[in-house]
A and B are shown apart, each in its own frame.
Chain A
Amino acid sequence: MNQDIITSTLSGALRSGTPLLFATLGEILAERSGVLNLGLEGMMLMGAFTGFSVSYITGNLWLAVMAAILVGGLMASLHAFMSITLRVNQVVSGLALVFLGEGLSGFWGHGFVGMQAESFNNIKIPFLGDIPYVGTIVFDRDILVYIGYIAVPVIWWFLYKTTAGMNLRAVGESPDAADARGINVVLTRYIYTIIGGFFSGLAGAYISLAYTPMWVQDMTAGRGWIAVALVIFAIWDPVIALIGAYAFGGISVLQFSFQIIQVPIPVNIMNMFPYLFTIFVMLFASSNKIKKRFGAPSALGIPYSREEKT
Chain B
Amino acid sequence: MKIRFEKREKKPSKLLIFLASLLSVLIALVFLGFIILSLGDNPLTAYWQLVSWGLGTVPGLIQSLVSMMPLLFTSLGVLIAFKMKLWNIGAEGQFQMGAFAATWGALYLFPHLTNPWFFIPLLMMLGMVAGAFWGFLPGVMRAYLGVNEILSTLMLNYVAIYWVNYLTYGPWKGPHSYNFPVTAQFPQSAIFPQYGVGGLNLGIFISIGMAFFVLYLVRYTKFGFHLNIAGDNLRVGEYAGINVKKMIILVMVMGGAISGLGGMAEMSGVLFRLQPNFSPGYGYTAVIIAWLARLDPIATIIVSFFFGVLLVGSQQLQLFMQIPSSLVNAFNGILLFSLLASEIFLHYKIKWVRS
Contact A222 B154 (CB under 8 A): yes
**Is A237's beta carbon under 8 Å from chain B?**
no
Shortest CB distance B344–A (Å): 5
Alpha-carbon separation in the docked complex, A199 to B145 (Å): 30
Interface string of A209-243 (1 = CB under 8 A from B): 00000000100011001001100100000000000
Contact B340 A102 (CB under 8 A): no
Shortest CB distance A91–B (Å): 6
Alpha-carbon separation in the docked complex, A275 to B155 (Å): 5
Select one of A87, A103, A228, A291 contacting B333, CB under 8 A: A103
Alpha-carbon separation in the docked complex, A246 to B159 (Å): 21
Contact A93 B151 (CB under 8 A): no
Contacts of A4 in B (CB 8 A): none
Interface string of B126-168 (1 = CB under 8 A from A): 0000000000000001000111101110111011001101100
Contacts of A107 in B (CB 8 A): 35, 39, 323-324, 326-327, 329-330
Number of interface residues of B (CB under 8 A): 50
Given contacts A225-B155, A307-B4, contact A103 B328 (CB under 8 A): yes
Contact A102 B329 (CB under 8 A): yes
Contact B340 A103 (CB under 8 A): no
Select one of A82, A102, A228, A272 contacting B158, CB under 8 A: A272
**Is A86's beta carbon under 8 Å from chain B?**
yes
Select one of B3, B146, B148, B162 contacting A272, CB under 8 A: B162
Chain B, 271-303, CB within 8 A of any chain A CB: 284, 287-288, 291
Of chain A, the residue at the smallest CB distance from B36 is: A107
**In the complex, which of the residues A95, A229, A232, A271 has the most CB atoms of chain B within 10 Å of its own CB atom?**
A95
Contacts of A97 in B (CB 8 A): 333
**In the complex, which of the residues B146, B148, B334, B337 has the most CB atoms of chain A within 10 Å of its own CB atom?**
B337
Contact A99 B146 (CB under 8 A): no
Contacts of A272 in B (CB 8 A): 158-159, 162-163
Given contacts A92-B336, A288-B146, contact A86 B344 (CB under 8 A): yes
Interface string of A84-128 (1 = CB under 8 A from B): 011111011101111111111111101000000000000000000
Select one of B333, B340, B344 contacting A98, CB under 8 A: B333
Contact A268 B166 (CB under 8 A): yes
Contacts of B155 in A (CB 8 A): 222, 225, 229, 275-276, 278-279
Of chain B, the residue at the smallest CB distance from A83 is: B340
Select one of A82, A92, A269 contacting B166, CB under 8 A: A269
Alpha-carbon separation in the docked complex, A100 to B330 (Å): 5
Contact B326 A102 (CB under 8 A): yes
Given contacts A110-B324, A275-B158, contact A93 B337 (CB under 8 A): yes
Chain A, 271-310, CB within 8 A of any chain B CB: 271-272, 275-276, 278-279, 282-283, 286-288, 291, 305, 307-308, 310
Contact A228 B330 (CB under 8 A): no
Alpha-carbon separation in the docked complex, A89 to B341 (Å): 10
Alpha-carbon separation in the docked complex, A268 to B166 (Å): 5
**Is B349's beta carbon under 8 Å from chain A?**
no
**Is B12's beta carbon under 8 Å from chain A?**
no
Interface string of A70-90 (1 = CB under 8 A from B): 000000001000100111110
Shortest CB distance A241–B (Å): 16
**Is A172's beta carbon under 8 Å from chain B?**
no
**Is A182's beta carbon under 8 Å from chain B?**
no
**Is A132's beta carbon under 8 Å from chain B?**
no
**Is B89's beta carbon under 8 Å from chain A?**
yes
Shortest 7 CB-CB distances between A and B: which pairs?
Answer: A106-B326, A103-B330, A100-B333, A103-B329, A99-B333, A96-B336, A268-B166
- Give me 4 other A-B pairs in contact (C-beta within 8 A), A82-B341, A107-B330, A276-B159 excluded: A88-B340, A222-B155, A225-B155, A266-B169
> Can you show 7 pairs from A to B with CB atoms below 8 A apart?
A93-B340, A99-B284, A105-B326, A108-B38, A232-B148, A268-B170, A272-B159
